[in-house]
Chain A
Amino acid sequence: MSEPLLRLDRVSIQFGGLKAVSELDLEIRQGELVGLIGPNGAGKTTVFNLITGVYAPTSGRILLDGKPIHGLKPHKIAKLGILRTFQNIRLFPSMSSRANVSVAEHMHARAGLAQAIFDTRTHRTDEAMLQSRAVEALTFLGLLPSADLRANELPYGQQRRLEMARALAGAPRLLLLDEPAAGLNPQETHELMGLIEEIRSRFGITILLIEHDMRVVMGACRRIAVLDYGVKIAEGTPDEIRTNAKVVEAYLGEEVPADLGAGS
């Protein structure tokens, strides 16, 4: 077996007395679409924050292509090709959609600060290239008509898609999506899942997806890991997960069985 794209090796993080993630092992192979699910407060977003360098793990290793990336600054990890979206949308509200997307391309710009200040030819061609790539990303997510609107003027569903366009524009190898369907209606969710599958198949981008809506994850992912209280309690295909006793207990063991997507 070849080295996986991303490997978490017994990763733990402790905040004071709380062990938010405990001894987590996770492997993501090139081209996979992996789901990460779990009840509220299970530590899913913390896992994203660990992978992207927002937190450094208390113990354990995070390897990209077999090379350790834990302890690197978030912008370094982004440059290595791991990009993310946020659960509670974090766009640049005062900037246009186009500019939002262009920020992610920043790391691929060649023209330095001096060239920008003197507006040299290198800078101009560079800028033209960045702009055309931004247009590509916006077009792919159907946002081109709103390219010049400020991000905070967009409707909610478009803001969600703009976050994805922004991450895509950075040409990620691994894309981390944190509840991309949160707050979307069933129609929008359906479209979004199609889009995610297309990102994987057409651009060959590996995806790790956090999702609350069980139906969404079950439909989209071929492999799912389940977290509960910071511990991985199960991993497998959707069918295996659906029938796993521990998972059923984590989700349904308490009193509210009906709607798994409700509340947060």
Chain B
Amino acid sequence: MKRALVVLVALGLLTALQFELPHVLNPYLFQIVVLCGINIILAVSLNLINGFTGQFSIGHAGFMALGAYGSAMFSLHVGGGWVAAMSAAGIAAPIAQGAALVVALVLGGLLAAAAGYLVGLPSLRLRGDYLAIVTLGFGEIIRVLILNVDAVGAARGLPGIPPWANLFWVGVGVLSVIAVSRNLAHSTHGRALFAIRDDEVAAEALGVNTTAYKVMAFVLGSFFAGVAGGLFAHFLSYLNPNSFTFIRSIEVIAMVVLGGLGSVSGSVLAAIVLTVLPEALRPVRDYRMVIYALMLIGLMITRPQGLFGSREISLSWLLGRFRRREPRPTP
């Protein structure tokens, strides 16, 4: 009951934001807010793989691309017809579009998850740098494939994707990935992932099926990367393979590391900071990326464990800060 109430309030707030924020912010700022949301989904989902489980994936852009193109193709060829049919049947446009979008996002997510399973399999044997190279290769294969398949627009890009995604749906995506991560972290399955990160041999000796869990982390992380890709596609309504270079993967890794490996709230905050920062630095023009890079270096030197370390921000934690310093439970 209580949980249903929380969900309702959250959806109400998102609806209000969706309708009110465009009046307050200009379109440019509004777009940054939406991109922040998409980047949060990417960062929190990569945190499941790199932060929780301690694997090193630098192919997140590849999973995102699969979700983006997969969901876009669905909407272009199938979903559009559904929406037309639903509208003809008298269903209000936002509901019809939302329903079609959810199906498209889930399909895009599943496509990315299937790829995550395939990439997760070699992680049975590989770890650290070797796994990183495999995921890097995977991401590039996806991009080059898209670049050469005419059906998805090849190098011209894929235009005309129905613009169904909005702040509301991005918000739903953000809340979903955060809820999944948090619930996972507080469960025995989450502890199994942390155990693998800390000491794989000991985890296995205590009955943790390390292989299955590593693949599971990959599948779950890539599912949400696919969802983020789908939202990206249906928000910009145009896709180009150049959006999914490995630079994009590196940006997401920077968010996870800056936020603190394993910290969900850290990933969220860092995703916002690293999305807003390059835009906020536009006034300094040519020096923009130099300053951006210097700030990253400075942050890593002063806080190598990330903004949050492995901690989480929660209401009880904040209250604890205001009261006396008590020993805080670590996850």
**Could you tell me which A residues sit within 8 Å of B by CB distance?**
52, 54, 73-75, 78-79, 83-84, 86, 90-96, 98-99, 102-107, 109, 111, 113, 116-119, 123, 126-127, 130, 148-150, 166-167, 170
Contact = CB atoms under 8 A, between A and B. Distances in A.
A91 B206 CA distance: 11
B183 A117 contact: yes
A149 B186 CA distance: 17
B190 interface: yes
Interface stretch (B109-117, B197-205, B243-251, B312-320): B197-205
B208 interface: yes
B204 A74 contact: yes
A106 B191 contact: yes
Contact of B207 (A78, A93, A127, A130): A78
A92 B205 contact: no
B205 A83 contact: yes
A109 B191 CA distance: 12
Contact of A103 (B206, B328, B331): B206
A130 B331 CA distance: 15
A79 B216 contact: no
B205 A74 contact: yes
B56 interface: no
Contacts of B192: 103, 106
Contact of B194 (A54, A75, A95): A95
Contacts of A126: 188
Contacts of B190: 116
Contact of B180 (A75, A90, A109, A117): A117
A173 B43 CA distance: 43
A159 B186 CA distance: 23
B206 A104 contact: yes
B77 to A, nearest CB: 31
A91 B208 contact: no
Contacts of A93: 198-199
Contact of A94 (B186, B202, B310): B310
B208 A103 contact: yes
Interface in B285-331: 310, 327-331
Contacts of B207: 75, 78-79, 83, 104, 106-107, 170
B180 A99 contact: no
A127 B187 contact: yes
B194 A106 contact: no
A161 B290 CA distance: 51
A84 B199 contact: no
B21 interface: no
11 contacts: A75-B208, A83-B206, A92-B195, A93-B198, A94-B310, A95-B194, A95-B198, A104-B206, A116-B187, A149-B327, A170-B206
Nearest to A78: B207
A130 B192 CA distance: 13
Contact of A96 (B197, B206, B210, B329): B329
B189 interface: yes
A74 B190 CA distance: 20
Interface string B193-232: 0110111011111111110000010000000000000000
B152 to A, nearest CB: 31
A220 B188 CA distance: 35
A127 to B, nearest CB: 7
A130 B189 CA distance: 12
> What are the 8 tightest A-B residue pairs by CB atom distance, in nearest-first order?
A116-B187, A78-B207, A107-B207, A92-B198, A90-B202, A109-B188, A74-B204, A103-B195
A106 B184 contact: no
Most buried by B among A79, A103, A105, A167: A103
Given A95-B191, A113-B216, A148 B206 contact: no
A40 B209 CA distance: 32
Nearest to A98: B329
Contacts of A98: 329
A108 B105 CA distance: 35
A92 B188 CA distance: 14
Contacts of B328: 148
Nearest to A153: B330
B199 A92 contact: yes
Contacts of B209: 73, 75
Given A91-B199, A96-B329, A98-B329, 9 more contacts: A54-B201, A75-B209, A78-B204, A93-B198, A93-B199, A103-B208, A116-B188, A119-B183, A127-B188
A92 B208 contact: no
Given A95-B330, A99-B194, A150-B330, A116 B189 contact: yes
